[in-house]
Amino acid sequence: MAAKKTSDYPAKQRQINEDIATGNFKPCYLIFGEEAYLRIQNRDKLRKALLGSGDAMNMQHYEGDSINPGEVIDMAETLPFFAERRVIVIENSGFFKKGCPELADYLKNQSETTVFVFVESNVDKRNALYKAVSKQGLAISCDTPDEQMLSKWVASKIKAENKRISPRAIAYFITRVGTDMSNMSNEMDKLVSYCLGRDEITENDIDAVCANWLTSRIFEMTDAITQRNQQKAIEIYYDLLALKTAPEMILALIARQFNLMLQTKEMVEKRIDSSSIAKTLGLLPFVGSKYVELVRNYSFDDIKQSLDLCLESDYLVKSGKLDHVISVEMIIIKASSRKK
């Protein structure tokens, strides 16, 4: 069975919180990953703690792909002005993809009065600078949490506003607005304001306030594929293209759907109950049950062939042998045409 993706984010987050609580900071931090909300949250938390009551003049911020490493190193060697440390924040530099040997070498013996905070969306873990930060400091990967963790996060934020929301309403909220945490946070703020004077947030409130975001439209299309509703799937696909949705993003979500189905089918055949399946896959029980019902209409080989089709299509597109738009259409037609 395919292994469930695990994350060391909680452990790394606890380490950052401990560093802040004790004041024993590492010489450098790297905050990276696909979830911008978590990257910004950790960046701001570290920056505030590192500066303390010190003057902001002891913080230097560099951003973009034209940063001069020599200038950064000179600044790092400059003593802080009436403060314990100098803080250097470097964002979206590309150093962790294209490389920066100067900084990678400098971090091995950097100034004791300077702390670096690097913030990147993408990194190459084979990169020398990544290895240097990992060895000398701490690198935390801010990937989008799974559905269970997102559910807990939504519940905690709603509770902090002295409101109640049921697990089913949370599942509906996630389906409605998608898994981008910045967008989810904004939508929760709107819900709380809309429900002033009431204790509970309901699915009707979510319908009334929350926009039906692009992500939910994509999932509607993948559902149509797995339910073999070919016409609906094709119509949604071309609607998404009209909204300038990247075909590669659509392909990735289709592949994710079939990967979850494959794992579900394997567990169903082993007579594992739906709640345990949901827990193993990091899904909400409500969503896990949906997958259990869905795979009853598929054989194991059907699901495997559909997933292989996605992987093959991705390879052909990346090797320049197939057009992106056509590749996804072919997957929709073939995957939704399989006989029960």
Indicate the residue among 119, 141, 163 that finishes a domain: 141
pLDDT reported for residue 294: 82
> pTM for this structure?
0.64
258, 242 in Cβ contact below 8 A? no
Are residues 47 and 119 located together in one domain of the fold? yes
Are residues 19 and 132 located together in one domain of the fold? yes
Amino acid letter, 192: V
| Long-range residue pairs from 69-75, CB within 8 A, at least 24 positions apart, any chain | 69/95, 69/100, 69/102, 69/103, 70/102, 72/103, 73/102, 73/103, 73/106
Rounded CA separation 200/162 (Å): 9
Give 86's DSSP letter.
Answer: E
Note down pLDDT in tens along the chain; length 340 residues.
333 445 788 899 999 999 999 999 999 999 999 888 999 999 999 999 999 876 678 999 999 989 999 999 999 999 998 888 999 999 999 999 999 999 999 999 999 999 999 999 999 999 999 999 999 999 999 988 888 889 999 999 999 999 999 999 998 898 788 778 888 999 999 999 999 999 999 999 998 888 766 666 777 787 788 788 899 999 989 888 876 778 888 888 888 888 998 999 999 999 999 889 988 988 877 778 888 888 887 888 888 988 998 989 888 888 888 888 898 899 889 888 855 4
Are residues 171 and 235 located together in one domain of the fold? no
Indicate the residue among 209, 230, 248 that finishes a domain: 209
101 Cβ contact partners less than 8 Å away, ≥ 6 residues apart? 128
Q: Is residue 2, in this structure, part of any structural domain at all?
A: no
Which residue, 207, 222, 139, is CA-closest to 177? Answer: 207
Q: What is the CATH number of the domain that holds 184?
A: 1.10.8.60
303, 211 in Cβ contact below 8 A? no
Are residues 253 and 304 located together in one domain of the fold? yes
> The tokens 């579900």 sit on which residue?
264
Are residues 165 and 257 located together in one domain of the fold? no
Q: Is residue 3, in this structure, part of any structural domain at all?
A: no
Rounded CA separation 243/225 (Å): 20
Cβ burial, residue 114 (10 Å; 0-12/13-18/19+): buried
Q: What is the CATH number of the domain that holds 224?
A: 1.20.272.10
Q: Is residue 340, in this structure, part of any structural domain at all?
A: no
pLDDT reported for residue 214: 62
Are residues 55 and 83 located together in one domain of the fold? yes
Provide the number of structural domains found in the chain: 3
Q: Is residue 196, in this structure, part of any structural domain at all?
A: yes
Which residue, 246, 244, 218, 213, is CA-closest to 233? Answer: 218
Rounded CA separation 253/221 (Å): 10
Are residues 225 and 270 located together in one domain of the fold? yes
End-to-end CA distance of the chain: 23
Residue-range definition of the domain harbouring residue 277? 214-335
Are residues 13 and 94 located together in one domain of the fold? yes
Rounded CA separation 218/307 (Å): 17
Q: Is residue 328, in this structure, part of any structural domain at all?
A: yes
Cβ burial, residue 156 (10 Å; 0-12/13-18/19+): exposed
Which residue, 28, 35, 27, 47, is CA-closest to 7? Answer: 35
Name the strands in the sheet holding 86-91, side by side, starting at the edge strand that comes first in the sequence: 59-63, 86-91, 114-120, 28-32, 138-141
Helix (H, G, I), strand (E, B) or coil at 120: strand
Are residues 59 and 172 located together in one domain of the fold? no
Q: Is residue 4, in this structure, part of any structural domain at all?
A: no
Tell me how far CA of residue 36 lies from CA of 188, 207, 248, in angstroms.
17, 26, 20
pLDDT reported for residue 64: 92
Which residue, 155, 172, 209, 185, is CA-closest to 35? Answer: 185
236 Cβ contact partners less than 8 Å away, ≥ 6 residues apart? 217, 220, 221, 224
Q: Is residue 62, in this structure, part of any structural domain at all?
A: yes
Are residues 262 and 276 located together in one domain of the fold? yes
Are residues 182 and 222 located together in one domain of the fold? no
Indicate the residue among 83, 111, 141 that finishes a domain: 141
Q: What is the CATH number of the domain that holds 94?
A: 3.40.50.300
Are residues 205 and 218 located together in one domain of the fold? no
pLDDT reported for residue 1: 36
Q: Is residue 52, in this structure, part of any structural domain at all?
A: yes
